[in-house]
Structures are given as structure tokens and as C-alpha cells.
Amino acid sequence: MVPQTIKEHTEIFMKRTKWLDKNHPQHRTANPEHSQKTAFFGYQKVPEDKKAQRVLQHFNTVAQKYDLMNTLLSFGIHHLWKRSAIKTMTLKPGDRVLDVCGGTGDLAILAAQTVGESGRVIIYDINRAMIDAGLHKMNHSLSKKRIGFIQGDAEQLPFPDGHFDATMVGFGIRNVTRMDQGFKEMCRVLKPGGKMMCLEFSKPTAPVFRWLYDIYSFHVMPLLGELIVGSRKAYMHLPESIRTFALPDELTAILKRVGFSQVTEHKLTNGIAMIHLAVKG
Ligand SMILES: C[S@@+](CC[C@H](N)C(=O)[O-])C[C@H]1O[C@@H](n2cnc3c(N)ncnc32)[C@H](O)[C@@H]1O
């Protein structure tokens, strides 16, 4: 439908920018009890067993320009969010840290700087292209020797119980088909008392700010995606996937359900992003 009037245009825009409403949850990813095996990929509901493939294709498309686009789209603010996220974890020298959905490794590099010579950080990601796209940063990083890579699915971590002092996931969990299973695994591989940090996009709290952010997300982001990455679709998927993701309180409830305690929420930039910090046991 081509909008003819301002009213029609506004209606279409409002429909497209629909945020998750606490009273009318539209997503499935936050509901571990779902009986229909579907998952959200952006606004599309896809069979659960097809989502991982779609996510893989998405990140294959964006991998080469992923870091550049992150910095452009967030005006560099994602680096500050990542620093804050690592700070909340209060890592210690010698800690073993797992970076789930680690991608191009920004969080891992920051963690590696904190855990010192004797510490280790593993970047764990399903997509080889994303890991490869970040390798050049490790070569230039002082932390090179402290970071390892493993390719695999967040829903099945190939580590024994209680292996890590800390686990973290940055902007990745909303891509995991069964988010609760991903968190369960992140809890399982933690030592008792170990910390889990989740950094993820969320819903800005101030309505006017949210409205501006909606316009930016659905007009500027896809345009830059088309110009820089050659895919408007990929950068339409990004804002859609954010809007179908669990709200902060729901995420807290999921973390408690899978075995975490002392869950705290930290809002970043009016709630564009959130840090959830949780303790095992
Ligand atoms: C938005 S990127 C985030 C990368 C990095 N953590 C950061 O903060 O910049 C999401 C990453 O999650 C990975 N991913 C998606 N689904 C996954 C899964 N089921 N298991 C492991 N990694 C997954 C993608 O390949 C991608 O590298």
C-alpha cells in the first residue's frame, strides 16, 4: 500500500515501529513455555528450526562492515556501553571469561585487558565470518595471547559445568532461537557465585526520545545499510529484532527462572540499551 495522506503515512509508521507492550506481549522468544515452535526473525514469525539459518545469513551479509556500521549508527556510543558493561562485571586478574555471541570481539578485548596475563577469554560465536571480521583487532591487541575462539551455538556450550568465572553476551541473545536455553547454558558453565552479564538493546523510556529513535531506526538505519553494506533489508531487520525482544523486567524474570539470582538492571542512554547483571546460585 502506498500512503496517500499524512494520516495513512502515520498509521503505517506506527504499525512498523510497534514496540513490545508489557500487557500485550507479541514475542515468543521470552516465553519458554510456548507450544507452537515458532520464533521471531525481525517481525516475521518463522519455524523455530529455520531461525538459526536466517540469523546466519544475516550476519554473513553484515560481517565485513559490522564494526563500521556499529560505530556509525551509534555515533560511537556502543564503545561506551561496552566499557560500562565490562566495568559492572568487576573482573579480576586470572579470571576465565566466556563471551557468548562474541562476534568481532569488542567485549572480549576489553575483558582481556582486565583479566591480565593469567586470565583467559573465549569468543564463542556461531558465525565464522563474524569471528574473522574481528581477527585484525586481536592481532593489534595487547591481549592477543589471552583470547581464544570457538565456533558454535549458544544453545549448546561445549564446556564442563562450573568452568568460567564470568560469562557475557553482548547484543547477541536476541538472535538465539531459544534464549532461555542460551541463558541456561551460560549459567551451567559458570562457577557458583560467578557473574553473567547481558548487554542488549531495549525500549527507550521517554516517549519523545523513543519517537525520534523510531524515525531514526526505520529511516536512517536502513538507508545507511543500503549505502554502506548494500542491504537495506539487513538494517531493517535490526530495528525490528530490537522491538520484538523482551522488556527488561521480562528478561530479569527469565534469568531468575533459569537459575540466576541477584539480577540487577542498568539502563544506558535512556534505555536504548540495558545491562543485566546476574549471579549464579
Ligand atoms: C550483533 S552481533 C554481536 C557481536 C558482539 N558481541 C558485539 O557486541 O559487537 C551478534 C552475534 O551473535 C552471533 N550469534 C547469533 N546466534 C548465535 C547462536 N545461536 N550461537 C552463537 N552465536 C550466535 C552472531 O553470529 C553475531 O556474531
pLDDT, tens only, 54-108: 999 999 999 999 999 999 999 999 999 999 999 999 999 999 999 999 999 999 9
What does the pLDDT read at residue 104? Answer: 98
What does the pLDDT read at residue 196?
Answer: 98
Q: What is the pLDDT of residue 14?
A: 66
Nearest atom (ligand 1) to Cα of 127: 25
Report pLDDT for 78.
98
pLDDT number for residue 18 = 73
Nearest-CA residue for ligand 1 atom 26 is: 103
pLDDT at position 37:
86
Round to whole Å and give the CA distance between 115 and 189: 18
Q: pLDDT tens, 159-185? A: 999 999 999 999 999 999 999 999 999
What pLDDT is recorded for position 240? 95
List, for the chain, all residue ranges whose pLDDT scores fall below the cut of 70: 1-6, 9-16, 20-36, 141-142
Q: What is the pLDDT of residue 30?
A: 44
The CA 263 to ligand 1 mean position distance, Å, reads: 22
Structure pTM? 0.90
Which of 125, 147, 171 has the most ligand 1 atoms within 8 A of CB, as the residue to mutate? 125
Distance between Cα 72 and ligand 1 center (Å): 19
Distance of CA 71 from the midpoint of ligand 1 (Å): 17
Which residue ranges have their beta carbon within 6 Å of ligand 1?
Answer: 52, 55, 59, 101-104, 106-107, 125-127, 130, 153-155, 170-172, 175-176
* pLDDT reported for residue 29: 46
Question: Considering only CA atoms, which residue is closest to atom 8 of ligand 1?
Answer: 170
Atom nearest to 99 CA in ligand 1: 6
- CA 154 to ligand 1: nearest atom: 20
What integer pLDDT is reported at residue 23 of this predicted model? Answer: 58
Residue 169: name the closest of 116, 126, 119 by CA: 126
Distance 118 CA to ligand 1 centre (A): 26
